[in-house]
Structure 1
Amino acid sequence: MGSKRNTKLEALLAEYGYTHQQLAEAVNRTAENLHGTPANCTDRHVRRWIAGDVQWPWTRYLLPLQHIFGRSSEDMGFVPRKSSRVPPLPRRSAPVKERHTMPRREFIAFGLVAALGLDHIPSAGRLGSSDVERIRVIVPALYKYDHAMGGGALHDVATEALHRVQSAVNRCTYGDRVERLLYSVMGDLAASAGWFAYDAGRQANATDLYNQALQAGMLAGDGMLQARVWSNLAMQARLLHRDKEALRIGRAAVETRQAKSDPWLMSLLHCRQAVGHARTGDRTRAQRSLARAETAYDRAQGHPAAWLSFLTPAELTGLAGAAHHALGQHRRAERLTASALEMLEPRFERNRVYYTVQHAQALLDNGDIEHAATQAGEAVSLAGRVQSTRVQDKLKDLRQHLQRHANVPAAAEFLEQARQMGA
């Protein structure tokens, strides 16, 4: 009979934000505090405990683990043998959970490599269409995490998946049809990894990945993939304050045959163009693009591609709010963004933080400092759950704007809250 995986211990690592290596180091530190000597624990020990290869660790490991998690050995998923001496649970205060972004991100990446089956991507032999389909499902799975946590948690694992697929393309054999499919799925992964890098603030990495996606899209003859990348490049140019360049790239994407045949994509492109026109002060074109986005969305049927799954009525309304805000129509922007937040589904946690900040900024620009500070406080409370440098930068800008109103009690209260939370 095979080993039974220790899911209780695995869940504790996730809850406390430990990687395998970090837990091993914590065991050694705790052992040294308890006994004067480290336990010589390594990440290999932790992996074997989780895999169930070792169901009852040595006491020199169990006692530190009990101190770290404040749980009995059995509550940590270990199974004693008849001859095992069960250490008593130490009397101590509740453990302090580690909530550092980097350890959490590393743990998520490590767990997703296994959960997504990246280890099973072939590195030799002949590939068929079934192999491609197993790879293709990686992207929809990644986007479910992206909506909740942001790209900072996913860039590394998406890049790792891309490298493994690139290795398969270079080392395996396959026919012409499978070759095109492989390049298409490889481009899908590259574009996704590029988006996660963009959201994580790694713009040089994002540009490189987008270029890889464009090349793969051309080799696959996948026009939809190419249009998607152009759309993301336009958004990146706007983030970098190259508004006219963003509009030119977006216009090229709108004119593609693929965009014209996909209402979901066309709706998104027109929304983003609306924001671009608004940022350059062209009210007429901004309003025209918003109207075209609504028309295209009304024609959309079925379900969009995974990367477009965020495109809901809430998103369209939020983008319209962003356009009106850029035009200086702050009252209209506030109402639209508030409506977007009401419609936004719970699964879109990152976007909820984003639009809460947008709502606060619109309120502030409209002179409603107290309500703006309340919304800003809500954004700070939510922001700890997502890993998006793009969102954090937006929140940082809002905080600087509220700093100018530090004499207002509500603003001062928010600034103190943000200081205490390290926002």
Structure 2
Amino acid sequence: MTSSRAVPNLAFRRLRGQRSPGEFAAAVRRAAREIGEHVACDARYIGRVEAGEIRCPNYAYERVFLHMFPGLTLRDLGFSAREDVRGRAARVTAQRRPAAVPSPAPAPAPARRPVPAWTPVSTAPTNHPSDTSEESDVLRRAFMTTGPATVMAASLGLGGTAVASVPSPRRVGEAEVHVVEEAVRRIRLLDDRHGADGLYRSAAQPLRAAYTLLDAGTTTRRATADRLYSGAGELSISVGWLAHDSGRFDEARSHYAEALATARIAGDHGLEAHAFCNTSFLARDAGRYREAVRAAQAGRRAAARLSSQRLLSLLALREAGGRAWLGDRTGCAQALSQAHGYFERGPSDSDPEWMSFFGEPELEAQEALCHAALGDWARAARHAYRATVLQQPHFARNLALYRAELATDLARAGAPDEAAAAGHQVLDLLDDVQSSRILTKLAATARVLLPHRRLPEVGAFLERHATLDARP
């Protein structure tokens, strides 16, 4: 149980040395980029760590800190063990593994290089069994259990309490806005690890509570109000993505539209670009390809006011995808070229926090989707394979998605054995990842492979895939 009084983290303060909190935060962001992570670290976050408000960092920050201070453990850095913070489920897990051994920092993603068109990737497990049990209570026990944020945490569904049973606070301050922002980060982390299907309904409750706060208009400062609008809009996009990835397209469209309206009201160009980016992706998946192109172009106009080349790259990829499905090879090629040009300018401190997933693996995966839409299956398979090789294993959901895309592309490119091998690797991840998008892709692969069922590898995959329908 969390203590009612935060204990200052003196060990972490000593590690900062003579650097200011802002300078140290910049060093944290640089270290994150070195290992392919993206954290929105600022002086305020460093202050909260040193004040003891953050007893254990999330997984992204953990990897960054251990990379910055090799040889030290979380306890050496002044943090509590994760099992002490996360509750009983984590304590049970801790009994099955050494408590003092931190997860190793992942190696930086390798530089772009030629990769064979298709080579079966490693079948070694990529998820720790403990991850699922640690995160099993999706949005409960998530952030705060004491202090002025308790009421807001409960109203956000983070303490297992229904929204209607807890009155909104009369004044919205830093603590309440922080809970909204942490809800966004928590949802993204869980989606990266486990996919959307098991999260959507749980995540809708904090979204309603966040917009109730906006409607109450009880913020005391303009800066706080701006953060609340941005946080609520990002939360709406996160919940919309969970709906999108689990096949609830109409609900996703509504959430994205709500986020766009919030962005327009607040004059938040970053939120507006994000909403258009996701709207474009949804329109493509829903078969509205011209809308996908227009939404991506609108997102690029909003993003032009910012300084993030990576955001412009992703929006160019969204446009390329829409043009590919329209059969516009020239327009698709131009948009892909622009996407690569923006991407090669590198990351920056201006990149939005939500873009932590966007690195070279996602660039390759989105290009694979474009070539698949144009019917260039062998070329699509090459890019999908690169995505699987380059992806960091802690993005379990994306790794499963990339392998599912690879399986489909290989099947349609006339490589049934290799497609089945990739399909097996997706099935290996489905105990921890729940995503209707992935299941849909896998079903498409199975249909294409059905004429090849006499091949031993294909037959084994089809038999195993058929058992999915029998799972509870």
TM above 0.5: yes
Matched with 1:192 is 238
Aligned ranges for residues 111-190 of structure 1 at < 5 Å? 111-117=138-144, 119-121=150-152, 123-129=168-174, 131-171=176-216, 173-175=218-220, 177=222, 178-190=224-236
> Aligned to 1:202, which of 228, 231, 248?
248
Aligned position for 1:383: 430
Q: Which has the higher helix share?
A: 1
- 2:457 counterpart of 1:410: yes
Which of 243, 257, 266 pairs up with 1:220? 266
Cross-structure match for 2:414: 367
Checking the alignment, whether the CA contact within 8 Å between 2:289 and 2:325 is kept in structure 1 is: yes
Cα distance in 1 between the residues matched to 2:196 and 2:169: 31
Secondary structure (helix, strand or coil) at the match of 1:151 reads: coil
Q: Deviations 1:299-339 (Å, cap 9, x if unpaired)?
A: 24335323211101111011112212222222222222111
Cα 1:169–1:243 change in 2 (3 A) is closer
User: Match for residue 10 of structure 1?
Assistant: 88
Count of aligned residue pairs for this structure pair: 335
Measured in 1, the distance between the counterparts of 2:451 and 2:138 equals: 43
Amino acid at match of 2:285: L
Partners of 2:347 and 2:90 lie apart in 1 by 42
- TM superposition shift of 1:198: 0.9
Matched, 1:323 2:370: yes
> C-alpha displacement at 1:109, in angstroms?
7.2
Q: Distance in 2 between matches of 1:229 and 1:376?
A: 32
Q: CA deviation at 1:108?
A: 5.5
Q: CA offset at residue 142 of structure 1? A: 2.1
Alpha carbons of structure 1 residues 350 and 257: separation in structure 2 relative to 1, 3 Å: closer
1:148 Cα offset (Å): 1.1
Secondary structure at 2:363 match in 1: helix
Q: Which segment drifts farther, 263-272 or 109-118?
A: 109-118
Deviations 1:321-361 (CA, angstroms, capped at 9, x unpaired): 22122222222222221111111001111111111111112
Question: For 1:112-152, what per-residue CA distance to the aligned partner results, in whole angstroms no more than 9, with x for missing partners?
Answer: 23213485417222223454234323312321211111122
Amino acid at match of 2:361: A
Q: What CA deviation, in whole Å up to 9, does each residue of 1:176-219 have, x standing for no partner?
A: 61333322211111111111111122222212211221221122
The change in CA–CA distance for 1:270 and 1:12 in structure 2 (over 3 A counts) is closer
Q: Which amino acid aligns with 1:115?
A: A
Partner residue of 1:345 out of 392, 406, 411: 392
Cα displacement string for residues 259-291 of structure 1 (whole angstroms, at most 9, x for unaligned residues)? 663212111111122222222222222111111
- Name the CA distance, whole Å, in 1 between partners of 2:137 and 2:217: 26
The worse-fitting range, judged by mean Cα deviation, of 104-113 and 199-208 is 104-113
Cα displacement (A) at 1:369: 1.1
User: Partners of 2:319 and 2:263 in 1: how far apart?
Assistant: 23
Letter in 1 for 2:143: L
Partner residue of 2:21?
Answer: none
Distance in 2 between the 1:207 and 1:107 partners?
31
Contact kept, 8 Å, 1:217 with 1:223, in 2: the verdict is: yes
Return the letter of the residue paired with 2:462. L
Alpha-carbon deviation of 1:111? 4.7
Query: C-alpha separation between the residues in 1 aligned to 2:400 and 2:277?
Result: 23
If asked which structure has higher relative contact order (CA below 8 Å, sep 6+), I would say 2
1:167 corresponds to which letter in structure 2?
A: T
5+ long unaligned stretches in structure 1:
16-103
| Larger CA deviation: 159-168 vs 386-395 | 159-168
Q: Give the counterpart of 1:278 among 324, 327, 336.
A: 324
Residue 317 of structure 2 aligns with an amino acid whose one-letter code is C
Q: Is the 8 A contact 1:181 1:220 kept in 2?
A: no
- CA–CA separation in structure 1 for the residues paired with 2:92 and 2:233: 31
What TM-score does the superposition give when structure 1 sets the normalisation length? Answer: 0.71
Structure 2 length normalisation: TM-score? Answer: 0.64
Q: Do residues 266 (structure 1) and 308 (structure 2) align?
A: no
1:230 and 2:308 aligned: no
Checking the alignment, whether the CA contact within 8 Å between 1:109 and 1:156 is kept in structure 2 is: no
Write the mapping of 1:88-107 to structure 2, written as runs, cut at 5 A: none
Question: Which of 248-257 and 304-313 deviates more?
Answer: 248-257
2:325 equivalent to 1:298: no
